[in-house]
Structure 1
């Protein structure tokens, strides 16, 4: 873990010895030197790539208005969009970007005080949306039964996700620490709507983080996301809405307000909130920007001083000609020869349309996207004729034991690598 990425005393200008700051710097790219014996990981990766095979495809000659003008107020998951408006990742891979700042979970695991742990969890919840900054490309809709696994022995976790429903689209994921320190899981029901000048994304679904040593479970829902200037002008993204994080064991809560832009962009990217204990007493104030960093300070000096924003010079490094991916995102669709013997045949890395787009072949990507979508429709028609229900492979619909809400829960067994009953979706 890079010491620069850990919490450190904030230079807030407030009279407090108990101020914390966390910056959403780029996650470290895997380096073989980080493995003690110099060996590769189970999936065959020795050193992760730092760029995509081809630069971003230009969208200058394509009119999004010609596609969207009949879609105002409609749910976009049911509308076929030209592949040029995509980025070369599946939505399942996009979900895995929640783990870019895993060090914050380990920070929470290491702390003895529940309020301190909530600070780290709150920072992790904010960091989970930080990679969306300037990401205006749409991820590919996962096919029903599609999966994505991510094993990061250097970061100490493994992830599995599955597209468990097509209409409505539902994506389920499960992450576990290799040393049984934490589990992180959830199911997401994304809803996208076009409102004339903007596209609004509502990421319905509950995130659950379990700190095993502390026997604690935290739950929250992500904020709304909106992409502006779809028709004219420069595209820009804002997150807005209230996010409430609950520690179901201690009763501590954290309320974060992702502020809408407001007049003249005054509140663009701002996050403000507080942590309170089970007696509703405020213990910490949290503020900052979800694109840069957040601070946690004592409520009293914050209220009297109303700290102004601190500018940070080193936010996540964006690769402008690589779809504004962070270096973590660049690695997600990498496919090394030794990987294929371990991956399920439904893994995103094996999707030919995403692979073609990543390689810069927009025509092949479009043809393959149409072929896969038609294959999915044909499979659906065949199941309907046979009155056969779709069966998920790695997740089951159940009840979240902490929130009591309906949730898709990991059934286990993926990493036994028995793929006998996996569907043929590609």
Structure 2
């Protein structure tokens, strides 16, 4: 891998609410003649094909790695939703706050452009306030990403291990995200387990991106469970319909009694209705939580690891932001060439690659499991604002 001093580190803005009027949004990175280009891109791909190893031209890339997108799901909120989870007075208060935080982790995606596929061993290390977040690409075939985040002041820990499986279905691409997410409120001795909805990119008849599928959230200690359904209904030819809908319920798993109903739009307002007294209140406002976000800053450039996403992809990201597509193609080939060379070196020495920050295991029954090697994540040289 190229010495980090030879590359200028480039940090891009986090993904925010998609608004057509926002000229400073990442919509600026979309490729020209987008629909025509997408159709030509997938013309030789069979419906149902796994796109895990599919390589996009740089015109279709966001100027950031998938590791950064996963990390932003945790640290890019305008309000400190994790602290709110920890400070709930009762188990039910905390559970409702966790549901709100879980919704915030699934933000808008931009149709037609995608982040880079992380290289093996790539890392992303960021701090926001007292929350320190570390991601590592622990497998390349299949692609598996591990995340560990800790807030020692609030005594909170997050552990994710996930494997995206994008598939092409003729008029759409659906990215299924397999794996378990855990949020631990250690002061209360509570562990919350949850999964991730699927990300659907519709190509025809009307291009767009949406979250779909079911998310289950459960607290192992209290028995509280939430069932959330993300869906996007469309009328004939894709016109009209109700978009970005989220519906669900919170129930006590011991009695199966429904306590609350959840209804709204995950990119706008989500409301909670008390089944006992009929009272309704807002538990999530996307405009308040995911807007006005700024690019992280480099606190100490010398301490940025050579494996850090913003270092590995810096030249490519700069070329994309400059819309210098020839330079972007060259830089993408450089990174991919370095990756192939490292693979050849390991194979020649008959060496297996071992993750640096996680212990990784796999079984058919459980799937992939990623356990952090260190109890706490250290402060990072990259600071999210």
How far apart are the structure 2 equivalents of 1:353 and 1:276? 47
Per the alignment, residue 97 of structure 2 pairs with 120
Correspondences of 1:209-288 after superposition (within 5 Å) = 209-229=183-203, 234-263=206-235, 265-277=240-252, 278-288=254-264
What is the CA distance between 1:373 and its match in structure 2?
1.1
Please give the per-residue CA displacement for 1:251-307, whole angstroms capped at 9, x wherever unaligned.
1111111124243553421111111123221111111111112111112565xx9x9
After TM superposition, the score normalised by the length of structure 2 is: 0.81
Secondary structure of 2:287's match?
Answer: coil
Per the alignment, residue 164 of structure 2 pairs with 190
Equivalent of residue 53 in structure 2, options 78, 89, 94: 78
Equivalent of residue 378 in structure 1, options 341, 351, 356: 341
1:354 equivalent in alignment to 2:317: yes
Per the alignment, residue 407 of structure 1 pairs with 369
Per the alignment, residue 356 of structure 2 pairs with 393
1:340 equivalent in alignment to 2:301: yes
Structure 2: 5+ residue stretches without partners: 1-15, 18-22, 381-385
What is the CA distance between 1:414 and its match in structure 2?
6.3
What is the CA distance between 1:124 and its match in structure 2?
1.0
Per the alignment, residue 130 of structure 1 pairs with 107
* Aligned residues of 2:38 and 2:112 also touching (Cα < 8 A): no
What is the CA distance between 1:361 and its match in structure 2?
2.6
* Matched residue count: 348
My pick for the range that moved more, 218-227 or 381-390, is 381-390
Secondary structure of 1:315's match?
Answer: helix
What is the CA distance between 1:109 and its match in structure 2?
0.8
1:206 equivalent in alignment to 2:180: yes
Q: Which structure carries more strand by proportion?
A: 2
Equivalent of residue 161 in structure 1, options 116, 135, 144: 135
Secondary structure of 2:303's match?
Answer: coil
1:295 equivalent in alignment to 2:271: yes
1:87 equivalent in alignment to 2:50: no
How far apart are the structure 1 equivalents of 2:31 and 2:288? 23
How far apart are the structure 1 equivalents of 2:26 and 2:160? 32
After TM superposition, the score normalised by the length of structure 1 is: 0.73
* Aligned residues of 2:111 and 2:201 also touching (Cα < 8 A): no
